[in-house]
Structure 1
Amino acid sequence: MKKPEFTITRCRRISPVKPLKLAGALIAASLLLVSCSSGPPKSLVTPLPPVAKPPLPTNPGHNQEPMRGVWLATVSRLDWPPVTSVNVSSAALRISQQKQALTDKLDKLKSLGINTVFFQVKPDGTALWASKILPWSDMLTGNIGEDPGYDPLQFMLDEAHKRGMKVHAWFNPYRVSVNTKPSTVAELNRTLSLHPASVYVLHRDWIRTSGDRFVLDPGIPEVRDWITSIVAEVVARYPVDGVQFDDYFYAESPGSTLNDSQTFRQYGQGFSSKADWRRQNTQLLIEQVSRTIKQLKPDVEFGVSPAGVWRNISHDSAGSDTRGAAAYDESFADTRRWVQQGLLDYIAPQVYWPFSRQAARYDVLAKWWAEVVKPTKTRLYIGIALYKVGEPSKNEPDWTVQDGVPELKKQLDMNESLAGIDGTILFRENYLNQPQTQQAVNYLQSRWGHSSVTR
């Protein structure tokens, strides 16, 4: 049995973010919003009117429509842009192909009844918008820092909003690269002459290796300030409907753990364990980002999509009756606490298992999360595993029974009938285009596609 979390009050001065010379005083001011952390139950959200969960109307109007979302990943060009577009002969052709691919996707999503796209704007230490803090993503051109000739985030917002769909800017906060190959190091080093250059060369002392990737060390206060400034830049400059962090907070692998021993010695005084200190670091980031977004634009939603299991009941009596990797213990993210404190407008746990998976049953987790949000104003969207549909699995054979449609139907039935669940998000967009999911896509079309999505 693990010890309960030890909480401690620590105040500190927020230091300025050294490499930034942003003109917007609003963004700079936002970095000073969080200067002290305290234990529960006190909330550190800016005292502005919260984004309340609307009461369920008798005749739901368009604004009360359930969330029907999809994640659109750009890391490694998983969903977009097309790999072939990067190798074409001219910039004009590349831009045309990338824009066409995106509008084709949005048209299909619209036809399926999808009303919200979670668009990955920061897949690593690069940006898919015209940033003054991060270099342009190499996903667009093949080269970090190369101007793609258009602004993908603005284009996505224009095209989605035109179709009556919302866009949440999806950030991976700490990842700098997807590998540590010599060629990656060389490419990052080549950005030194760029404005802006990669954080890898500007702040080499912030960089660690974890999960066989270069990441930022979450225990360094200036790192959290820097991440907050990136979110602030997007929120201040673009008409995004929301901001989402995924589940990569402390993302280690058994053979590649994060070496933050020196950081712990420097900043971890007073904590009973490194695990408690790590959780507090994640807490501070969420508090700071939440407060900053609400200060800049109170109507922009802030959400997190964590691992589906907060804690297992074997470790904590408040946990779920599951036996899976837990966000609290593996990612050092106390996701349940963020809901209780009102730090999030919504939470979207990744419940990527079928009803029959005894170690982490879909219904057990969906009901557990519905109970967590019940006394709060935080909305609950369940992330479901479209990527498993139609894929043979020894442990989860239900995904191939009748092409996975009965399992998908059961999950959607629960999401749409259980009080407390406000919608569904599919992971991820390109699986809507794969041969093994076509029966499921047809089912989604028949179930959701008839509704008209309006803003």
Structure 2
Amino acid sequence: MIVCSRRYSLVTHIKKRSALVAFALLVVSCSSEPPKSLVTPLTPVTKQPLPSQPEQQHQPVRGVWLATVSRLDWPPVLSVNLSNAENRVKQQQNALTQKLDKLKSLGINTVFFQVKPDGTALWTSRILPWSDMLTGKIGEDPGYDPLQFMLDEAHKRGMKVHAWFNPYRVSVNTKPSTVTELNRTLTLHPASVFVLHRDWIRTASDRFVLDPGIPEARDWITSIVAEVVARYPVDGVQFDDYFYAETPGSTLNDSQTYKRYGQGFASKADWRRHNTQTLIEQVSHTIKQLNPNVEFGVSPAGVWRNLSHDPAGSDTRGAAAYDEAYADTRRWVQQGLLDYIAPQLYWPFSRQAARYDVLAKWWAEVVKPTNTRLYIGIALYKVGEPSKNEPDWTIKGGVPELKNQIDLNESVPQINGTILFRENYLNQPQTQDAVHYLKNRWGS
């Protein structure tokens, strides 16, 4: 986003079809060698008949992103400092159930829960160490499984959960203390990818990231998604917009990777887009081979390409995913690789460089001839915040702008839902008029 050990057996209905997957996951968990691709050995699986599934009825999504990176939404910062593990678990679980109760009362039916904020996990993983977001230390067992707890509590309330992954981020900074903490995991099982595969690691946007051009790194990401889909009853999997994430002062140095793997491409940009495309294809196919009912979606930057650069682009002047994140998001929709796409349209109707209505209607036309559903991400974090360029967010508490955006979403047939970024802004003083409006509109 703009900001982003229990041993489960494979679920029963995929046991017979997934022996190869179980073996692949076991290889990943027991070796520091780069994992093999989960796609190639799974090819025979698709030749076997899948159990017939009833056509799913998709209710309009009323969703919210719940971020765990830097503990933005959850868990409570104070809980991490508790010396008593039992009290920490209780406080974290209570905080999550209280959030779910509030979301339920507002009419929210889908939570996009960040389970991989960086190179760590918020589930019992054989591939990634435990997230330090839970205990303050990478690899320390929190005493419960947050993903399983979220699934149990949300499903109990009739809400769906999509596991939200940041695919390439390894850390949120490159401080010496962070390096020390990552190096400390070498003795852990599992250890951080930072120490197991140091040759995959690059620096970009002042963070440690995986190099998207390395095939084994993409296979490793695919294996992580496979682990969650195989072991947990998630309703969906979502990637955020961090594919190639650079800043002018901190670019990703992949020149050697390009020299090794980029032959035959007209440009480095085309090669980078190929790498992102390959990851999306691998993950999409793997999810469907494991469980066809798990939805796969991406939440990219709102602008695919600008009309000034491409006749198929939108009439906007914003940062484009195609050119800056090297993500050809429109193509993924056209090729049927995604069950849904959730572009982040974080601007008001009056923002001429990237008008909300212009972009929402452009995306509606993109999905129109496809089977990909369209959910629109809207900027709850801007509601009530003074802005010189976007004053509409403060007019009458931001309610008129919010109403106009949801009205448009619910009036265009191709738009199947709205997702709010992000959960903790529902609890801020400046958004309370908007929260009251949402409860009256969506709540029971």
Pair in the same fold by TM > 0.5:
yes
* 8 A contact 1:19–1:202 mirrored in 2: no
1:53–1:408 distance in 2 versus 1, CA, 3 Å: farther
Shift of residue 46, structure 1, vs aligned partner = 9.4
| Cα distance in 1, alignment partners of residues 301 and 85 from structure 2 | 39
Residue 273 of structure 2 corresponds to: 279
Pick the aligned partner of 1:132 from 126, 136, 142: 126
| Count of residue correspondences | 416
**In the alignment, residue 31 of structure 1 is paired with which amino acid?**
V
Residue 11 of structure 2 corresponds to: none
* 8 A contact 2:61–2:110 mirrored in 1: yes
1:141-185 Cα distance to aligned partner (Å, 9 max, x none): 000000000000000000000000000000000000000000000
1:329 aligns with 2:337: no
Residue 184 of structure 1 corresponds to: 178
| Cα distance in 1, alignment partners of residues 48 and 434 from structure 2 | 44
Q: How does 1:82-93 map to 2 (within 5 A)?
A: 82-93=76-87
1:21 aligns with 2:22: no
1:299–1:17 distance in 2 versus 1, CA, 3 Å: closer
Shift of residue 419, structure 1, vs aligned partner = 1.5
1:357 aligns with 2:351: yes
* 8 A contact 1:33–1:292 mirrored in 2: no
1:46–1:418 distance in 2 versus 1, CA, 3 Å: farther
| Cα distance in 2, alignment partners of residues 341 and 318 from structure 1 | 16
1:31 aligns with 2:39: yes
Residue 69 of structure 1 corresponds to: 63
1:33-79 Cα distance to aligned partner (Å, 9 max, x none): 689xxxxxxxxx99988x99979xxxxxxx44210000000000000
**In the alignment, residue 344 of structure 1 is paired with which amino acid?**
L
**Structure 2 regions of 5+ residues with no counterpart?**
1-23
* 8 A contact 1:33–1:288 mirrored in 2: no
1:399 aligns with 2:407: no
* 8 A contact 1:128–1:137 mirrored in 2: yes
1:439 aligns with 2:433: yes
**In the alignment, residue 377 of structure 1 is paired with which amino acid?**
N
- TM-score norm. by structure 2 comes to 0.90
* 8 A contact 1:34–1:291 mirrored in 2: no
Residue 390 of structure 1 corresponds to: 384
| Cα distance in 2, alignment partners of residues 387 and 186 from structure 1 | 34
**Does the residue aligned with 2:276 lie in a helix, a strand or coil?**
helix
Q: How does 1:219-258 map to 2 (within 5 A)?
A: 219-258=213-252
1:248-278 Cα distance to aligned partner (Å, 9 max, x none): 0000011000000000000000011100000
Shift of residue 118, structure 1, vs aligned partner = 0.2
1:420 aligns with 2:414: yes
**Does the residue aligned with 1:422 lie in a helix, a strand or coil?**
strand
1:96 aligns with 2:90: yes
| Cα distance in 2, alignment partners of residues 33 and 446 from structure 1 | 51
Residue 113 of structure 1 corresponds to: 107
| Cα distance in 2, alignment partners of residues 100 and 222 from structure 1 | 39
- Large movers: runs of 4+ above 4 Å: 16-19, 45-49, 51-55
| Cα distance in 1, alignment partners of residues 364 and 53 from structure 2 | 16
| Cα distance in 2, alignment partners of residues 84 and 159 from structure 1 | 22
Aligned-pair Cα RMSD in Å: 2.3
- TM-score norm. by structure 1 comes to 0.88
**In the alignment, residue 349 of structure 1 is paired with which amino acid?**
P
* 8 A contact 1:320–1:365 mirrored in 2: yes
Structure with higher RCO (Cα < 8 A, 6+ apart): 1
| Cα distance in 2, alignment partners of residues 18 and 205 from structure 1 | 23
* 8 A contact 2:174–2:206 mirrored in 1: yes
**Structure 1 regions of 5+ residues with no counterpart?**
1-15, 36-44, 56-62, 451-455
* 8 A contact 1:119–1:170 mirrored in 2: yes
**Does the residue aligned with 1:308 lie in a helix, a strand or coil?**
coil
**In the alignment, residue 39 of structure 2 is paired with which amino acid?**
L
1:266 aligns with 2:260: yes
1:307-329 Cα distance to aligned partner (Å, 9 max, x none): 00000000000000000000000
Residue 309 of structure 1 corresponds to: 303
**Does the residue aligned with 1:117 lie in a helix, a strand or coil?**
strand
Residue 158 of structure 2 corresponds to: 164
* 8 A contact 1:244–1:304 mirrored in 2: yes
* 8 A contact 1:206–1:223 mirrored in 2: yes
